[in-house]
């Protein structure tokens, strides 16, 4: 049976995070999830809007809420940055009457409480979906050691995003285990990647990427697994490889695609900055001995 969601792709879906978008849709199709893109959505404002104007940082995602609220469907958001911005706006609309009135005027809409905003991770981790995943699993990722990288936006502020433990989250590790891979325990899973400071201060971003990757290597990981278009690019592009090997960063949906043996997956690897193919050979060898 198909499950339907309203869907907010976010800007990186058609650019830096193209392999996330392609793998997400392939996996959703395979598991019977229908993602109905909301009409004429706009950018959530990213980190930049909030940096120059708190009001703009709330108004931009509020317009997307206006587009999605009248449907009966939950809103699925794959990018943690977009998810965070939308949850922040929803929180302001629900709990701050003054801000709500201001946003309603700015965005030209009437807020109706009750829209269920979900991160794509939550949807895949629902018991029914995990069951479907288990049944459709063709190529368990045995032997692959994965460092799940949560970053900031997916888990903080915990009172707003409601994703559980923000210091030591393990929900992505559960997904890794469901795919038959091994989730490593490591200390840098919620450390910030440097976000858009990477574009103006590349050296700082390199320092940050290097210590996050070093933490993953120390824990014995073969790769990182992320879900944010900015984190994934920062981690792959900014790590220097000096004094340590380079690790690829997969989107979680790419690893799902491999485990589901989706034929389209070979289109995704060329979009990475760190070539992930040598890491995938671990699987071809049938795991570690």
User: What are the residues binding another protein (CB under 8 A)?
Assistant: 11, 14-16, 18-19, 40-43, 45-57, 59-60, 63, 105-108, 152, 156-158, 166, 190-192, 194-202, 204, 208, 233, 237, 270-273
Q: Which is nearer to another protein, 180 or 248 (CB)?
A: 248
Taking the complex as a whole, the smallest distance from the CB of residue 174 to another protein amounts, in Å, to 22
Taking the complex as a whole, the smallest distance from the CB of residue 255 to another protein amounts, in Å, to 19
Q: At what angle do helices 97-107 and 54-68 cross, to 10 degrees?
A: 70
> Within 13 Å and on the Cβ side, how many CA atoms surround 26?
24
Helix ranges (H only) for 196-274 are 197-200, 202-218, 229-238, 252-259
Tokens 């058609």 — which residue?
A: 14
Taking the complex as a whole, the smallest distance from the CB of residue 10 to another protein amounts, in Å, to 9
For residue 117, the SS3 value is strand
Taking the complex as a whole, the smallest distance from the CB of residue 241 to another protein amounts, in Å, to 14
Q: Which is nearer to another protein, 148 or 232 (CB)?
A: 232
**Cα–Cα dist 97/110, whole Å:** 12
Taking the complex as a whole, the smallest distance from the CB of residue 199 to another protein amounts, in Å, to 6
Find all residues with CB under 8 Å of 176, minimum gap 6, and list them: 146, 148, 182, 183, 225, 255
Taking the complex as a whole, the smallest distance from the CB of residue 214 to another protein amounts, in Å, to 14
**Cα–Cα dist 65/111, whole Å:** 8
For residue 102, the SS3 value is helix
For residue 54, the SS3 value is helix
Dig out the tokens for 211 from the structure: 């210590």
Cβ atoms of 161 and 83 within 8 Å: the answer is: yes
Q: Report CA-CA distances (Å) from 246 to 81, 139, 188.
A: 25, 25, 16
Q: Which is nearer to another protein, 33 or 153 (CB)?
A: 153
Q: Which is nearer to another protein, 48 or 126 (CB)?
A: 48
Cβ atoms of 219 and 184 within 8 Å: the answer is: yes
Q: Which is nearer to another protein, 121 or 156 (CB)?
A: 156
Taking the complex as a whole, the smallest distance from the CB of residue 2 to another protein amounts, in Å, to 28
Q: Which is nearer to another protein, 31 or 49 (CB)?
A: 49
Q: Which is nearer to another protein, 58 or 144 (CB)?
A: 58
């Amino acid at each position: 049976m198909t499950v339907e969601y309203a869907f907010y792709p976010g800007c990186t879906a058609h650019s830096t995070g193209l392999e996330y978008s392609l793998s997400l849709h392939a996996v959703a199709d395979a598991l019977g999830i229908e993602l109905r893109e909301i009409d004429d959505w706009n950018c959530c404002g990213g980190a930049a809007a909030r940096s120059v104007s708190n009001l703009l940082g709330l108004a931009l995602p509020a317009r997307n809420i206006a587009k999605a609220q009248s449907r009966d469907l939950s809103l699925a958001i794959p990018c943690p940055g977009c998810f965070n911005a939308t949850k922040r706006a929803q929180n302001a609309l629900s709990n701050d009457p003054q801000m709500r009135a201001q946003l309603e005027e700015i965005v030209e809409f009437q807020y109706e409480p009750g829209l269920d905003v979900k991160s794509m991770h939550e949807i895949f981790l629902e018991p029914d979906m995990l069951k479907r995943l288990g049944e459709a699993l063709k190529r368990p990722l045995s032997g692959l050691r994965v460092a799940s990288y949560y970053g900031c936006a997916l888990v903080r502020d915990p009172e707003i995003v409601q994703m559980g433990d923000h210091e030591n989250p393990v929900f992505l590790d559960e997904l890794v285990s469901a795919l038959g891979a091994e989730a490593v325990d490591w200390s840098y899973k919620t450390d910030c990647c440097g976000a858009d400071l990477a574009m103006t201060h590349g050296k700082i971003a390199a320092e940050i990427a290097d210590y996050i990757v070093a933490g993953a290597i120390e824990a014995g990981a073969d790769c990182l697994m992320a879900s944010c278009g900015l984190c994934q690019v920062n981690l792959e592009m900014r790590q220097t490889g000096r004094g340590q090997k380079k690790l690829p960063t997969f989107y979680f949906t790419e690893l799902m695609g491999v485990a589901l043996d989706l034929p389209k997956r070979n289109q995704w690897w060329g979009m990475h900055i760190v070539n992930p193919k040598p890491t995938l050979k671990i699987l071809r060898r049938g795991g570690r001995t």
